[in-house]
Structure 1
Amino acid sequence: MKLSIIHKNIVKPICMLVLLTSVFSCKKYLTNDPVSSFAPEYVFSDVVNAQKAVLGAYACLAGDQGYGIRISMYYSYDDDLMMGQGSTPYPDNERRDIAHYNVTASNTQLAAPFLQLYAGVERANLCIYYIPKMALYSSGSEQQKKDLKRLHGEALTLRAQFYLELLRNWGDLPAQYEPAFQVADLYQPKTDRDSIYNHLLDDLALAETLVPWRTEVSKDERITQGAVRGLRARIALFRGGYSLRRASSSYGQTMARPADYKTYYQIAKDECAAIMQREDQHKLNSSFRSVFKDAICAKAIEPNGEVLFEVSMDGGTSALGDSKLGYYNGPRTNSKGNAALTVLPSYFYMYDSTDTRRDVMIAPYDLSATLTYTGRAGQSLVDGKFRRDWILSGTDLVNSAAQYFGVNWPILRYSDVLLMYAEADNELGGAPSATAIAALEKVRTRAYGGNASLIGTTPTDYTGFFNAIVKERALELGGEGIRKYDLIRWNLLSTRLAAVKTQLTAMAGRAAPWNNYPAKMYYKTASTSLLWAGSFYDAGSSTTPSGYTSVNWLSPSITTTISTYYAIAFQNNHSELLPIPQTVLDSYSGILKQDYGY
């Protein structure tokens, strides 16, 4: 059963415990009247109601303030692959300022996602507190005990996901592991993120013992053991990676990683290895395109278990529980859709001509009202993994003015597990093992349609293999809200943004080697197939072929439409984190401090 079916029926159970109260329970947030007066004794009296309470925690992942748009498509840009919404107005004290690193504490897009993440923490805290205390947890039937232990493990995992998102966007923050009613003083100062990460790693080690593997339960979008282990690996890499530290810390305000970072790379390696050993549970789909077109965009569960963890969207055209994937981003149809995220031309040329992922990741077109193709220029390419024309069809595709399509957001895929394993192994051994090389090559081979002869030679030295991982994660995981945070934990964000700016300038001016690439491309006019004349990888002809229309490809327009905005206000040792929303600081009356130069 899809979680989205359940989501529509969880409003009362969510509110039974006034779960909307966040950690920041100042008077402003406590004035909301509870929708229901049901007590915890009722909510946590049986498995059915306990499940509804846990689903209430899941719900905080979704909607406009969650992975429906803001966390997934505002906060994760600009990176070295894509640019958040450009054009005017800029500055806007909104999404453009976030993307281009011009953000301040008063930005209107910060407070609601911040509070929703903490609301998720509180909902999970309530479940973690009450479920193990239920009589059925220890003395129920075997099935009841299994069900409740799974719910306990799911709540621990959800709390870890909420905290990970908070920490990688805002750095050190107040930590709370008990429900608000158990805490004497809700206004706590910041906790060092390493301490929080350690707590989450312990939580997830426990959750692994509670949550079943994917095939041991009915297929839906609930968390199973592969998701727990994969998330633990990801958190371990953040714990061991670089992050921007406070001026008052032992590091000073700088990008730094802990001296014992390899301890956490070992955790990541071990967790990924445990998943890799269970190909009966999780493996790659043989087709990269199919993961997105036939599963995620088709609103179906990926049959191979490649998607380990995804945010279930309810499909109810709701800002609270749905997503704007395919509306805010991707190509337009009949002038509908925002096409707000721009794929950088430099990213297009990270792919070679035979990599099948390029035309999944990058959509260089729009569709007309008659579903004929219009080619996009090189400076206005859009992302394609969550494209409107894979989600809708027929008259809906042409005419629908809807903004919400019920498309799930993938948090973790199996290819990411393989690449995390390869990265951790290389870091620990000083060079990649045969298993690490095989893990990387498995991802690359799938990208080339299963033809291993096309993947090239994999480096066997530490630096060469690390650089191969950096590139492969770009090619495989672009547009999935991962890249910016990868660059931060590698301490490469500043370097990569600067390098791309230089590359874009060279492309716009057609400096060598870009003088050997096309200044214009030509698409077939009024065609129901996207047909290009010539190659993207040589200079080609300057004459428009008969029956084709030209678009600028590598041209000076890159400067005016991309370089004017792209990461324009980025500052090293500052912009790697967001400021705490001003409304939250105000509610804390000076107890919670702003850091990182904001």
Structure 2
Amino acid sequence: MLLAMVIVAIGFTSCKKYLSPEPLSSFDNSLVFGNSVFFAKSAVIGAYNNLAGDYGYGIRISMYYPYDSDEMMGAGGTTDDGERRNIARYYLFSSNTQLAPVYNQSYSGIERSNICIDNIPKMALYTTGTTQVKGELRRLYGEALTLRAQYYFELVRNFGDVPEQRVPSAQLPNLFLPKTDRDTIYNHILADLLQAESLLPWRTEVASLGDQPDERITKGTAKGLRARIAMFRGGYSLRRASGIMERRADYKTYYQIALQECQELMARRDQHTLNPSYKSVWKDYVCGHNANDPSGELMFQVAMGGQTASTDSKLGTYNGTKFGTVGGGALTILPTYFYMFDSTDVRRDVVAVPYETNTDLVTRKGHAINAIVDGKWRKEWLSNPAFTPGSSAANLGLNWVIQRFSDILLMYAEADNELNNGPSASDIAAVKEVSQRGHGGNAALVPTIPTDKDGFFKFIVRERMLEFGSEAVRKYDLIRWNLLTAAINETKANLANMGTATPIAITPPSYMAPPPAYCLVNTLPKFMYSINTSTADDSKIFLNSLYKPAPTATPTGTTKLNWLGASAINSTFTTVFAYAYKPNHSELLPLANATLSANSALTQDYGY
């Protein structure tokens, strides 16, 4: 069987270390998986490649699918387009052409992984090679198992029950497979990841295999992903049979799996821990094109490169803030989310950017509250190589981050709190560690962490919102907690309240811990006064405080911007945000017409 259709990285080039082998184009299995580790590695790289590009985490999965939520709005304003804008509004039909390409590319990644999983253990070198060769092949096998798990996880959390195929297509008598219950898929990939853990090296052990640390999967990746999938297996999801959101009675079994994986990772701080600086994670490593953060906080990244739609990402050009005249701004930070951050939380100014860089590429101008954008992937932070001024390139080689170590700390605390009917001292310490880093390392600034089960859970719901803004985490968290409906309804109400000229009142959310009272009261400013500031200074965009009433007169040398009230919180927020959302329906996406036409064994479910 030729590999051209199933494991080839067509036209793939990249500056990333793990992508250095040339892709294979026309060799059959007996050659690829014969006596060459190099060829086997090239095959596994083919399985990695489906993570990247426009139909992977380059834009669709990362920036179309995860919105609207109580943190951000997807692109679109008031326009229905039957495509990306309607995904964010939950106004979805099977005719939407943004569905099938993602679905198909994920299954292509599964097929490539299946071929590697089937063939690598059969290689003679797998058992007879040198210690280093056997270690390399075991790692490749573990990578393929982990990749297949990630592809299935993304399919399930977006589409629900989907067909499961665990062997190469050439071995199946019938390729028209019906849907498999997601619990079965989850159980299989949890078992796969457990096996992968035994095959993969730790991050610092790859040198013994002749490699340097890079974006490839390691033991920590598999353990972190297994914890995350276990939390979803134990969480709520929209079920085909009942048509409602349900959580299985045995959910604590899976919380226990997550807890154990997180405990084991937390015991290996030599491999993965928090970078002391939240900003540095994004500016110096993600935007700095540097995969080698010594803290190992970046546990799973999708390597992007090559400046093509099939291999790179549009991070920093589709989203993020404008730099000169170039791009950004498709995703919008909600005003309600902006005020979930207290004034001392350094994460706010990383996640939310209320400015753009002028055409001189040196000075900035402020944005009104209805035009704040996400900032973790931003062009002004690009280095190694830097962004070329004046370039209109859509692809900047920015990696998508799937998992960070802060997720391990927060999952550990969440699982343990649920299993033990309240938080332990170690749970509180784990959450405090994340919040303290978010407050610049100052323990005195960490909000009071509740010690009862419900209060502690609600604190985690808020803390995850602050920590993972714009990382495609929030909507799926809300779904597994069965809180998406409450979040959307209460966010709509608060957006309307913020758009009321007098008084401006924000109701503390019922489903998570509220921010400090000064973030909610009607003494927040109705206007902000923007000052031109240098790009070398991230700290000062506005003259007046974000948390106190504004001056009545416009100060000299500033630009007056509408902030709160009807002139700022307009119909984009009050009527467009998630306007078509329906409980027990919108939590999952429909299958595309093209997908249904290609496989008569599939059914359209969930009320679509």
Residues in 2 aligned to 1:567 and 1:356: alpha-carbon distance in whole angstroms:
28
Please provide the CA RMSD for this pair.
1.5
- Compute the displacement of 1:392 (Å): 5.7
Q: Which residue of 2 aligns with 1:594?
A: 604
- Compute the displacement of 1:512 (Å): 4.1
- Give the TM-score of the pair, scaled to structure 1: 0.93
Amino acid aligned to 1:237:
M
Matched, 1:578 2:595: no
Q: Which residue of 1 aligns with 2:405?
A: 414
Amino acid aligned to 1:312:
A
Residues in 1 aligned to 2:386 and 2:102: alpha-carbon distance in whole angstroms:
34
Alignment of 1:426-575 (within 5 A): 426-510=417-501, 511-513=503-505, 514-525=521-532, 529=537, 530-556=540-566, 557-575=568-586
Matched, 1:232 2:226: yes
Q: Alpha-carbon deviations, 1:484-505, whole Å to 9, x = none?
A: 0000000000110111000000
Going from structure 1 to structure 2, the CA distance change for 1:6 and 1:280 (only over 3 Å counts) comes to: closer
Equivalent pair of 2:71/2:333 in contact (CA under 8 Å): yes
Equivalent pair of 2:533/2:541 in contact (CA under 8 Å): no
Going from structure 1 to structure 2, the CA distance change for 1:376 and 1:512 (only over 3 Å counts) comes to: closer
Amino acid aligned to 2:232:
F
Residues in 2 aligned to 1:366 and 1:263: alpha-carbon distance in whole angstroms:
48
- Compute the displacement of 1:86 (Å): 2.3
Q: Which residue of 1 aligns with 2:274?
A: 284
Alignment of 1:253-292 (within 5 A): 253-292=243-282
Residues in 1 aligned to 2:485 and 2:135: alpha-carbon distance in whole angstroms:
47
Q: Which residue of 1 aligns with 2:107?
A: 118
Equivalent pair of 1:10/1:56 in contact (CA under 8 Å): no
Equivalent pair of 1:379/1:554 in contact (CA under 8 Å): no
- Compute the displacement of 1:254 (Å): 0.1
Which of these residues, 40, 56, 62, is aligned with residue 46 of structure 2? 56
Q: Alpha-carbon deviations, 1:323-361, whole Å to 9, x = none?
A: 111000011022310310000010110000001111001
Amino acid aligned to 1:408:
N
Q: Which residue of 2 aligns with 1:7?
A: 19
Q: Which residue of 1 aligns with 2:62?
A: 72
Matched, 1:165 2:172: no
Amino acid aligned to 2:19:
H
Q: Which residue of 2 aligns with 1:129?
A: 118
Where 1:126 maps in the other structure, the secondary structure is helix
- Compute the displacement of 1:108 (Å): 1.3
- Compute the displacement of 1:6 (Å): 4.8
Gaps of 5+ in 2: 1-13, 207-211, 506-520
Where 1:516 maps in the other structure, the secondary structure is coil
Alignment of 1:174-213 (within 5 A): 174-213=163-202
Matched, 1:335 2:325: yes
Residues in 2 aligned to 1:564 and 1:338: alpha-carbon distance in whole angstroms:
23
Going from structure 1 to structure 2, the CA distance change for 1:6 and 1:279 (only over 3 Å counts) comes to: closer
Residues in 2 aligned to 1:366 and 1:410: alpha-carbon distance in whole angstroms:
24
Where 2:408 maps in the other structure, the secondary structure is helix
Going from structure 1 to structure 2, the CA distance change for 1:548 and 1:241 (only over 3 Å counts) comes to: same
Amino acid aligned to 2:173:
A
Residues in 1 aligned to 2:543 and 2:160: alpha-carbon distance in whole angstroms:
49
Q: Alpha-carbon deviations, 1:246-292, whole Å to 9, x = none?
A: 1xx2xx10000100000000000000010000000011000000000
Amino acid aligned to 1:67:
Y
Residues in 2 aligned to 1:401 and 1:393: alpha-carbon distance in whole angstroms:
18
- Compute the displacement of 1:558 (Å): 1.5
Residues in 1 aligned to 2:461 and 2:190: alpha-carbon distance in whole angstroms:
25
Amino acid aligned to 2:102:
P
Q: Alpha-carbon deviations, 1:210-235, whole Å to 9, x = none?
A: 00100001211100111100000000
Q: Which residue of 1 aligns with 2:28?
A: 39
In percent, how many aligned pairs have the same letter? 53
Going from structure 1 to structure 2, the CA distance change for 1:190 and 1:462 (only over 3 Å counts) comes to: same
Residues in 2 aligned to 1:187 and 1:422: alpha-carbon distance in whole angstroms:
42
Q: Which residue of 2 aligns with 1:24?
A: none
Equivalent pair of 1:3/1:221 in contact (CA under 8 Å): no
Q: Alpha-carbon deviations, 1:501-554, whole Å to 9, x = none?
A: 000000010434353111110111365544311110011213111011111111
Alignment of 1:313-328 (within 5 A): 313-314=304-305, 316-328=306-318
Equivalent pair of 1:361/1:383 in contact (CA under 8 Å): yes
Going from structure 1 to structure 2, the CA distance change for 1:394 and 1:325 (only over 3 Å counts) comes to: closer
Where 1:317 maps in the other structure, the secondary structure is coil
Matched, 1:375 2:366: yes
Q: Which residue of 1 aligns with 2:77?
A: 87
Count how many residue pairs are aligned between Structure 1 and Structure 2: 567
Amino acid aligned to 2:176:
Y
Where 1:374 maps in the other structure, the secondary structure is strand
- Compute the displacement of 1:91 (Å): 1.5
Equivalent pair of 1:64/1:322 in contact (CA under 8 Å): yes
Residues in 1 aligned to 2:542 and 2:179: alpha-carbon distance in whole angstroms:
55
Amino acid aligned to 2:264:
A
Residues in 1 aligned to 2:45 and 2:21: alpha-carbon distance in whole angstroms:
10
- Compute the displacement of 1:300 (Å): 0.2
Q: Which residue of 2 aligns with 1:138?
A: 127
Where 1:308 maps in the other structure, the secondary structure is strand
Equivalent pair of 2:423/2:453 in contact (CA under 8 Å): yes
Amino acid aligned to 1:295:
Y
Equivalent pair of 2:531/2:541 in contact (CA under 8 Å): yes
Residues in 2 aligned to 1:91 and 1:158: alpha-carbon distance in whole angstroms:
35
Q: Alpha-carbon deviations, 1:416-461, whole Å to 9, x = none?
A: 1100000000010000111111110110111111111110221110
Residues in 1 aligned to 2:386 and 2:432: alpha-carbon distance in whole angstroms:
42
Going from structure 1 to structure 2, the CA distance change for 1:579 and 1:8 (only over 3 Å counts) comes to: farther
Q: Which residue of 1 aligns with 2:239?
A: 245
